Chains A and B, each alone.
Chain A
Amino acid sequence: MTQETVLRDEINLTKEEKEVVYKTLNREPTIPEAAMLEVMNSEHCSYKSSRPVLPKLPTEGPRVICGPGEDAGVVDIGDGLALVFKLESHNHPSALDPFNGAATGIGGIIRDILCMGARPIGLLDSFRLGDLSDPHTKWLLKWVTKGVGDYGNCVGISNAGGDIEFDPSFQINCLINVGCFGVMRKDDLALSRATTPGDKLILLGGSTGRDGIGGASFASKNITEDSESDRGAVQIGDPYMKKLIIEATLEAIKAGVVEGLKDLGAAGVTCSISETADAGGTGTEIQLEKIRIREDDMEPWEILVSESQERMFFVVKPDNVKKISKIFDKYELPYEILGEVTDTGKCVVKYRDQTIVDLPAHLLTKPPAADRKATYPKYLNKLNQKWLPKEPKDNELNDICRKIMASDNMISREWVYRQYDTEVGLHSVVKSGQADAGVFRLSEFGTKKGIAVTFDGNSNQCYLDPYNGGAGIMMEACSNVAAVGAEPIAMTDCLNFGNPEHPQVFWTFEKVVEGLADAAKALGVPCVGGNVSFYNHDEVRDVAVKPSPVIFVAGLLDDVEKAVNNSFKSPEEFIILIGDTNTEIGGSEYTKVIHSSDDGQVPKVDFANAKNVLKKVVKAVNEGLVTSSHDISKGGLFVALTEMAMAGNLGFKVGLKRIPADTQRSDIKLFSETHGRFLMTAKQEDMDKLISIFAEDEIPASYIGSVTKEKKLIIENDENQVIVELSIEDIKHVWDTRMEEEMEGKK
């Protein structure tokens, strides 16, 4: 190859990475090769910081078909069907251009599900933003909501739920995570691999532009200020083209003409030609000028690393090229045959009769891991876990309850989810805002089973106690799906952290993963995939975001009709509390909103009993013994009860005396966020049966009060005196309208 090469000093790789490259190649890389190596060695593509830590997570289980490593996790749900799901971050693009950033996040996550061969049926989204009252936060929230909504609504995939947290640490560097799930027949599984030399490589979909190209260091010296503003243009999604791609891809898979399939996300063509070759033990060779480009003056390296949206990469037998072309033509989708699979173990790219890339596939796909240091963060030394607030007087509790229900993290998210289509496809049984998890029916796939899905995260608890915070969100997410009656079957994570080169940040990463892993093992829920987003650092104030893992747990219902939501159904029904309450208010809404404190004990998961509690909850729901069910999480018992009352437009009367707890304090009983607790309502005649289900395993199931016709929230203390008395209307008004008023102005 006689062409311009990149000198050792100019390539943006670490010393170790360079050593591997030069030792393998024995020459200087060409410009396109250097660009490919840089992007594949980036944190985003190589997971170089997280890779040594992630094996702590359990990845095996009887249902697991594909674990981490593929584009999405695949689990067996019986009846010849598999569930495919994935969760991913789109933080940095969304911070700059919230509309297109969030929209292309949705586009990308849909492709991940599709490229396993499944029909995407539901979307979820998680936002982490600064304080709601801040104008920049409002701008971000307005446009990320619109981005998620527009893309999802246009492509015809309904929203199944999500999770929003407001905290000043996300002021500039917001976190926008999106998830998608789909279902397929097990034998339609498509893998990202090219196993047979001679097979053709086909690129389907949109044209290739300079979207999402980070300035490669050696190339940037030629960029004038003027062209800088055009380069690395934001990615723009095209949901209508995506809809055609979904249908064409699924039809091609059904027709049996797809040998391998890969979506083009980060690192674009580079990632596709290298990962399919490496996974299949083959090589790939393409003609670069075959790729349709949108901008005339694109350099070869730019075409190779472009992240233009709406593209899919197919591996097809030569005999089937005609058949697949016919399918693509039917949908009027452009495609081109780029090249073919070889047996060389190399990725070769030719451009205008010249070989411009000739790299071993493994050099791109298996870059060396980074050795990160971890040290105990200083801020944790300042925290006092034994701290307890001064006990409020009984007459202060009404106000405390009002304040908590009106806080950023408690108020209704309806302003967001009402902008999403939650009905399209007719899959949703339990929709956003109706329960702890979204429930989808699978009748289209010929089964009465149902899928329950939830996102969960708790950045405040993960900041104050990374280990217990990490374990806590795992317990919490599994509790979400159990509450609607589904057995949690698998999880996937999205780990959002600051700069991994900062040892104190990396320590929190390690601890969160340990916590997640221990809880996942205790619950028997394997991790089938994930995504890590580092460098979420606010450059303006020089602070990292709080450690913010978000997890996506999927659950399975044997009969979707058995699912319950969280609204009170009729007066006189009994309210049952499952579980013990401990003095665990560290990182709770109560501690944060009322006492503005970082102190206190963060809730710990009871690993020994966690799995059993969930099993019994699922059993109680599936035997039809409960009329509503809700797990107790952010805000504690009071918030959970109030949400059930507001949803059913009925009141409650509850006595704190009946709550098994390690304390007599009313405030702690009301607002502790101890895990593994549920509220259920049952008809009086079902009470004995219900309680005996839990009694079998000595799990506390306590009658704490009743649903009332009178629309009041009444709580009595240990001496049977009324300490909280609020009308639903009073509490609901602010809870219901605050986000809308913040976003749209007062009516």
Chain B
Amino acid sequence: MAKFNAEVIIEGKKNARDPEGETIMRDLMIKHGYDMVSSVRSGKILKITLEAKNEKEAEDICWNMVNELRIYNPVAHVCTIKMVK
């Protein structure tokens, strides 16, 4: 068994509204002079450390976990999992 690090990224679907990102862009960045910014999207990242036989198994465990525990809703979100060093 070895330790692996995974990053689970959950974000809204590409064309769904993102009031949080819009507000950060409109009321923070643009208002304070960063008017070159034209899009901000917010999301959530979970950095997970877990034990598994190999990287493939670690990634599979993460996918099973986020699906079974409904950590994201496939109807509303896009979830990506990256294995990192």
Contact = CB atoms under 8 A, between A and B. Distances in A.
A286 B19 CA distance: 27
Interface in B4-30: 12-19, 22-23
A238 interface: yes
Contacts of B19: 236-238, 240-241
B75 interface: yes
A225 to B, nearest CB: 15
Contacts of A206: 17
Contact of A230 (B13, B17, B18, B73): B13
A532 to B, nearest CB: 25
Interface of A: 96-97, 99-100, 139, 206, 209-211, 229-231, 233-238, 240-241, 294-295, 308-309
A643 B18 CA distance: 43
A309 B19 CA distance: 11
* A-B interface, 3 closest residue pairs, ranked by CB to CB distance from nearest: A238-B19, A236-B17, A233-B16
A97 B73 contact: yes
Contacts of A241: 19
5 contacts: A230-B14, A231-B15, A235-B17, A236-B19, A295-B15
B32 interface: no
Interface in B51-75: 70, 73, 75
A229 B13 contact: yes
B48 interface: no
A99 B72 CA distance: 11
B15 A236 contact: no
Contacts of A210: 15
B15 A100 contact: no
Given A96-B75, A238-B22, A295-B15, 4 more contacts: A209-B15, A234-B76, A236-B19, A241-B19
Main secondary structure of the interface of B (DSSP, over half): loop
Given A139-B70, A236-B12, A240-B23, A211 B75 contact: no
A111 to B, nearest CB: 16
Contact of A211 (B14, B17, B22, B70): B17
Nearest to A235: B17
Contacts of B17: 206, 209, 211, 235-236, 238, 294, 308-309
Given A139-B70, A240-B23, A294 B75 contact: no
A458 to B, nearest CB: 31
Contacts, number: 47
B38 to A, nearest CB: 12
B12 to A, nearest CB: 7
Nearest to A210: B15
A96 B74 CA distance: 9
B43 to A, nearest CB: 13
Contacts of B76: 97, 99-100, 233-234, 236
A464 B42 CA distance: 49
A230 B15 CA distance: 6
Contacts of A234: 13, 16, 75-76
A613 B23 CA distance: 54
Contacts of A309: 17
A295 B70 CA distance: 28
B76 to A, nearest CB: 5
A97 B70 CA distance: 12
A233 B13 contact: yes
Contacts of A96: 75
B73 to A, nearest CB: 6
A120 B75 CA distance: 31
Nearest to A138: B70
B70 A236 contact: no
Nearest to B20: A238
Nearest to A142: B70
Nearest to A295: B15
A230 to B, nearest CB: 5
Nearest to B68: A135
Nearest to B78: A229
Contacts of B14: 230
Contacts of B15: 209-210, 230-231, 233, 294-295
Nearest to B13: A233
Contacts of A230: 13-15
A308 B16 CA distance: 10
Given A206-B17, A236-B17, A97 B12 contact: no
Contacts of B18: 236
B44 to A, nearest CB: 13
A684 B26 CA distance: 65
